[in-house]
Structure 1
């Protein structure tokens, strides 16, 4: 890497390069390619053979110590523990207590507050978000930062609100992760897998009619798919209920032209709610 990397003649700093990469991912780019083809066979012919690396021999005293008794030693064990705790919860309050006490996710150690849910748990619409950001971590509630304020405006336009007491007009907001990832990075596969037993039980106990999958992480968690710009607006099934993928409010704030498609998705959600009420 040079000291002054460029993109199409434009000097890039780290923040700009990261923003470009994030934009490409949002647009559905999933494979890097060069501007010109590379002859892989020619490349292999020019490479000199390298002697195989000999495995490092470790003395018994230098090997990693065994895990302490009682601690789960792999992801499967932590998922099993999460499933048992979630299954034993017979109310949202007991589920929140069990999830907050669960120590099988490392994010808990670096977060300020546990972020369980917000809104009316009797709402017909459940919004599944990604993970807490900085402001959410401070307040212990999902979607309360700038993106959350825009989310309120979006759903308010079709008569839905997290503060509504009437279930017909209410929203209930949950995240895939209840602890903030450091630096607001995307959740990794291990964190999602360990969190999903609690998310599934959360949906079961709340019992919404419809689910909005707000962004890539909820789609990955609930559908096993990413590429929100391809998925948005297409009704599907998640947790045994109709689900609508939508672009995240943070993306809409960065890309105002995409608000037109988000409005179409909101109208589709309103129509679906009305049809279920008939």
Structure 2
């Protein structure tokens, strides 16, 4: 495969070694990128063979709803389930369902195309997300952007099939970036479920333990759940490591690249 300068730059940003043929050497047949590894110690991972999955027809998108008049501060799960995008965003911004509202700078709603084919679900906002009001910013967000760009996706540019929609399980930052508590996840779950229902993605990428617990209801480790296709309400779901974890454990970037290729193969 011939890589453009832009693609090579993005792959290098991810720590992905790009094979370059020597003079007179035949270039191999095109295939999926081999492995994502740390820049300090590139890892060669054999290409993963993914079994063909049944073709799933995407349900028709719901017609836009008229904005409903709802008590945003006290909206229950039933009310959230009928909200359109503007009303949902306003409800998240006004939410005071748990104590996290007392310490947040602002809520972190989501970013990307509202009808994206791929939806990325993370865990909880950190300090920089709380300040900016957008999920996955800072070093972890830069790594995620590089991973997405390597397979031709973006959080801001292009049609639905070339964009992603990114949301977190929690919409407010836990103090000192502690782990989310079960009660906090439960209060935020209706918001995430409604985002998933409005986006109607073809594939979901769950990044990190709490995203997996929220979507699959499983306490198993990410390492035991990754590498295969799960489903969330009929939508294929792929489990992978959170980018913040990959920054601490760069040796697992190769596995995350496999997961990303698996999700891309389903689009």
Q: Which runs of 5+ in 1 are unaligned?
A: 1-79, 274-278
> Aligned residue for 1:251?
245
Q: Distance in 2 between matches of 1:218 and 1:210?
A: 15
Task: Determine whether 1:178 maps to 2:185.
Answer: no
Match of 2:216 in 1: 223
Gaps of 5+ in 2: 1-73
User: Which residue is equivalent to 1:120?
Assistant: 113
SS of the counterpart of 2:101? helix
- Aligned counterparts of 2:199 and 2:184: Cα–Cα separation in 1: 22
TM-score (structure 2 length as normaliser)? 0.70
Match of 2:229 among 235, 242, 248: 235
In structure 1, the residue matched to 2:181 is 188
Answer yes or no: is 1:268 the counterpart of 2:262.
Answer: yes
Query: Which residue of 145, 148, 151 corresponds with 1:152?
Result: 145
- Distance in 1 (CA, whole Å) between partners of 2:255 and 2:120 is 18
Between the aligned partners of 1:240 and 1:177, the Cα distance in structure 2 is 23
Deviations 1:8-56 (A, max 9, x none): xxxxxxxxxxxxxxxxxxxxxxxxxxxxxxxxxxxxxxxxxxxxxxxxx
Aligned-CA RMSD value: 1.3
Give the Cα separation in 1 of the matches to 2:222 and 2:159.
30
**Partner SS state of residue 81, structure 2:** helix
| Residue in 2 that maps onto 1:161 | 154
For this pair of structures, how many residues does the alignment match? 193
Consecutive aligned runs of 4 or more in structure 1 exceeding 3 Å deviation: none
Per-residue CA deviation, residues 160-209 of structure 1 (Å, 9 max, x unaligned), is: 11012311110110000000000101101000111111111111011111
The CA deviation at 1:218 is 0.6
How does 1:36-185 map onto structure 2 within 5 Å? 81-89=75-83, 91-185=84-178
Contact 2:121 2:211 in 1 (8 A): yes
> So what's the TM-score if we normalise by structure 1?
0.67
State the Cα distance separating 1:81 from its structure 2 match: 4.6
SS of corresponding position for 1:88: coil
The DSSP-based 3-state class of the residue aligned with 2:211 is: helix
Counterpart pick for 2:198 among 205, 217, 222: 205
| Greater C-alpha Rg | 1
Q: CA deviation at 1:239?
A: 3.6
* In structure 2, C-alpha distance between the alignment counterparts of 1:219 and 1:188, rounded to whole Å: 14
Distance 2:76 2:99 in 1: 14
How far residue 123 of structure 1 moved from its aligned partner, in angstroms, is 0.9
